Chain A
Amino acid sequence: MVDDIKPDETLDCRGLSCPMPILKTKKAINKMDSGKIIEVLSTDPGTKNDLPAFAKRGGHEYLGHKDDEGFARLYLKVK
């Protein structure tokens, strides 16, 4: 399911900690069209909680995450 997602953009937040991944995502999706999918790479364990919460508040659709080698790939569909 999550494996089939083809992101339109990838945002590399590896090495960044709270709150930078969320703010960078916020900035990136401001420039994206509705329906596009952004992939966020993060090493901060908190992002797995923060991004779904952020998506819910902003009305975006959180599609899930998958774990990679030492980081997570998280997917968000822009409102």
Chain B
Amino acid sequence: MTEKKEKSVLGGILSRGYSAIFYDNWPIWVGGLLIAIMSIVTFAWARPWGVAGGLRNWGDNFFSLIGVYSAQPLSPLISTNSILTLGLLWGAFGSALMSKQFAIRMAPPLEMIKGVVGGTLMGIGSAMAGGCNVGGFYSAVSALSFSGIAMMVGLIIGAYLGLRYIYWELEHLPSGSGGASLREPKEKGFSWLQVEPYLGAAILIAAMVCAWIYNHKALTRVGGLLLCGIAFGIIIQRTRFCFVRGFRDPFMTGEGEVARAMVMSVVLSMLGFAALKWTGLRGEDAYVAQAFWFGGLVGGIIFAFGAVLSGGCGSGSVWRAGEGQVKLMIAVTCFALSMSLFETLIDFSTGLQALMGHRAFLPEFIEYKWTIIGIAVLMFVYYMLVTWNEETDKFTVEM
């Protein structure tokens, strides 16, 4: 074989690999599996994965900057909350570029309004439940907190109500589609799409440089969390993993694939968290929010309703914003501002705090082993329900 031929074979392997990773979307269950692995790695490295806390930090900094808050919040460059969410946005942006899926996508006015309302509701719901679908549900259930279960029930109810609203909107409000333009620079002889993968690679390499700088400034944990966040961003963008679909799709199309992937992911992540907590390697109180049961349940309802309106949950809105969807950028901004305001309100009011509920770490009531079995059984029940619904369409809401 000539050298040239060998090169083209190697080139072929590389380009097939590239297209498998960045052209085709990955199966959804792979997303669930990888998210579970990263969730455990992130907790073992420093702390559980969260998204809304970062948004809150950005909101806090904004309000402090314009003089609404007198206290100076933690810098977004140091706050681990902020770094995880920044990583998610960064990773999704880089990954969308690598797969030539980045484009500024405008939306019709009605969709923009839904972004504002949905984002604001998600902020309020997160403040009540002690986190979004990630920190309030996914990481909370993993962390064996009862409020995570309460939020799960709330999320199911909220997704149902949100879907009912969307159906109503489809019948009664004028169609908002069309007319919305996709703004794509189209200079002659210059194809934006051709450049995207190189830009994406540069952006992901820049993230590693940043992590290296953190390491040099003796902030290794923060730098590592940035990389964890970026891994979440890439995984979620490539699999288009969306928690709100895990709760909405069974009602909407009857599809249970995302729900099953999500449930599998929660159980795996929970096993990892339980190991880290049970052995005393990590604090038992980590991610056990003071939100059982009112905050988790009602916060979950409000959150999921908002998530269905905006078309993305906490993590989902952030990665879609990273992909260039203007509606989700608006939703994320409103999310950050409303969460900051509402959580500050709760912080200042003992009455509201009492209303949200108390901390409930399940092993304190029923030991570790029954907690693990109980959560696994509960998730299995949801798994069976959505699969049964897939066959029978019993819960699927017809238009």
Interface residues of A (CB under 8 A from B): 11-20, 22-24, 26-27, 30, 43-46, 49, 53-54, 57, 69-71
Contact = CB atoms under 8 A, between A and B. Distances in A.
A22 B323 contact: no
Contacts, number: 90
B347 interface: no
B108 A49 contact: no
Contact of A30 (B248, B320, B323, B399): B399
B327 to A, nearest CB: 6
Contacts of B20: none
A24 B178 CA distance: 12
A27 B254 contact: no
B242 A45 contact: no
B311 A70 contact: no
Given A15-B105, A16-B107, A45-B323, A22 B253 contact: yes
A58 to B, nearest CB: 8
A8 B201 CA distance: 42
B114 to A, nearest CB: 9
B170 A16 contact: no
Interface of B: 25, 101, 103, 105-108, 111, 166-167, 170, 175-182, 184, 186, 240, 242, 245, 248, 252-255, 257, 308, 311-312, 320, 323, 325, 327-328, 399
B182 A57 contact: no
B103 A17 contact: no
B257 A53 contact: yes
A30 B167 CA distance: 14
Contacts of A11: 177
A57 B248 contact: no
Contacts of B107: 15-17
A18 B166 CA distance: 12
5 contacts: A14-B178, A23-B399, A43-B105, A43-B180, A45-B101
Contacts of B311: 17-20
A22 to B, nearest CB: 7
Contacts of A13: 177
Contact of B106 (A15, A44, A49): A15
